[in-house]
Amino acid sequence: MNDDALLEVAADLALRAAEVILAIRARGFAVAQKEDRSVVTEADHASEALIAAGLRAAVPDIPVIAEEEMADGRRVAAPAVFWLVDPLDGTREFSSGNDDFAVNIGLIRDGQPVLGVVGVPATGELFGGIVGRGAWKRVSGVQTPVVARFPPAEGVTVVASRHHGAGPELDAFLAGRSVAGMRNYGSSLKFCRLAEGLADLYPRFGRTMEWDTGAPQAVLEAAGGSVRTLDGAVLRYGKPGWDNPHFVCTGRERPAG
């Protein structure tokens, strides 16, 4: 199965998972707390069951690393190629009645995201991309290309997490930069807003896991943006414990000189 076909498998599963998530939201749900004190709901588990089963049926030779399976104690060393799944990114937003939650399905090869989709159930948006090939956004079945923008002359628009956005680290990072405005989003929507050219910079200093970032990183990089650690290295995958270091997302960068 080529990358175009793999992307469509992921896109279809993200849309189906969105329907399940919205149905559970409509009828109500309970909220539990995991060992790491993050929250989880029936929607997380139902979405992950659908996605994991769909990926394993469609592409049985590619392992699936999924958030809730890992939280339940599954331990596996990172293979050369694997799916990364966050079935409901932004569970806190979801459980609070906000709309900034997403479904992330990304494919990793040799430590790097190569393709991914981010579904936004509440808005009906679906973002997808193949690194080196381009990114797109679908709404109601209509697909349009998305491209990250160069920083505007009047200054950058910064996006930050609703719950991990402010603080001395962010203030220090932005010191001396020309900032035109700041917007707060939950979940992987922050990457997508950069990918479609609505913002320019997303510094992340709070804790994230690889399933939080694999799919949206693929979308952003497919759109011409970048995701790097604070020391300028590419954010890589398959790390021990699946934790990410702090990182910075940017739109397109102007050539030096």
CATH of the domain at 110: 3.30.540.10
- For helices 3-27 and 42-58, the axis angle rounded to 10 degrees is 160
Distance (Å, whole) CA 225 – CA 220: 5
How far is the first Cα of the chain from the last one, in angstroms, to the nearest whole number? 42
Domain that holds residue 223: 156-250
- Percent pLDDT > 90 in the chain is 72
Which token pair is 31?
A: 């909220």
Q: Is residue 151 part of a domain?
A: no
| Final residue in a domain of this structure, among 87, 107, 141 | 141
- Shared domain for 200 and 237, answered yes or no, is yes
Strands 156-161 and 226-229 turn out to be unpaired
Pick 52 or 30 by higher pLDDT: 52
- Shared domain for 128 and 228, answered yes or no, is no
Q: Looking at residue 255, what DSSP letter applies?
A: P
The CATH number that applies at residue 189 is 3.40.190.80
| Final residue in a domain of this structure, among 116, 141, 166 | 141
Q: Are 82 and 65 in contact (CB under 8 A)?
A: yes
Which token pair is 160?
A: 């930050």
- Helices vs strands, H then E, count in the chain: 7, 14
- Percent pLDDT > 70 in the chain is 95
- Shared domain for 10 and 134, answered yes or no, is yes
Task: For residue 48, name the pLDDT band (cuts at 50, 70, 90).
Answer: very high
Length of the chain: 257
Helix (H, G, I), strand (E, B) or coil at 85: strand
Q: What is the pTM of this model?
A: 0.94
- Shared domain for 176 and 226, answered yes or no, is yes
**Positive/negative CA dihedral, 110, 72, 207, 181:** positive
CA angle 91, 94, 100 (to 5 degrees): 95
Q: By C-alpha distance, which of 180, 182, 202 is closest to 190?
A: 202
Pick 169 or 122 by higher pLDDT: 122
Confidence (pLDDT) at 147: 98
- Shared domain for 21 and 109, answered yes or no, is yes
What's the structural domain count of the chain? Answer: 2
Distance (Å, whole) CA 143 – CA 60: 28
- Shared domain for 26 and 129, answered yes or no, is yes
- Shared domain for 93 and 165, answered yes or no, is no
